[in-house]
Homo-oligomer: A and B are copies of this chain.
Amino acid sequence: MPAAQTNTSPQIERIHALGARATPARIAVLRLLESAEQALSHREIEEALATGFDRVTLYRVLDWLVETGLGHRVTDTDRVFRFSLTSPANAAHKEHAHFRCEGCGKVFCLADIPVPAPTLPAGFSGKTVEYCITGQCARCDDKDHS
């Protein structure tokens, strides 16, 4: 018979692989972000996980995600940080574009669109590139046409 499988899940393994502790908060956030198709803000995560984790704990889990390279942080135009996981399949995190919808406020990761590499002035060395398009997403655009 299958034993209680709480002590082994893909999330826990992933956390252990980093030599970190698999705590409820980390597992929950990881699980949530894996199933999210857009970058989530701290607020959104807090609401989705109505499990009573402390605000600060979530902030720290999210910081930890970014530190370990598991996650990725973008600053939204409305002054909030949004978090998403680096694609779980390929460890090498390829930079990708983001699309922010003015209608529903959601932020989509446009994995298909490669971020164009910039040619910088002499002396400047680039490290990371943010490429964010703002407009209407398919659903909201559709709604407007009705």
Contact = CB atoms under 8 A, between A and B. Distances in A.
A120 B98 CA distance: 10
A137 B113 contact: no
Contacts of A77: 75, 130
A124 B141 contact: yes
Contacts of A76: 75
A124 to B, nearest CB: 6
Given A116-B116, A130-B131, A130-B132, A99 B79 contact: no
A79 B124 CA distance: 23
A4 interface: no
A128 B121 contact: no
A54 interface: no
A135 interface: yes
A74 to B, nearest CB: 8
Given A126-B133, A126-B135, A131-B132, 7 more contacts: A75-B76, A79-B79, A113-B118, A118-B131, A124-B141, A130-B131, A131-B131
User: Nearest 3 A-B pairs (CB), nearest first?
Assistant: A123-B138, A116-B116, A127-B135
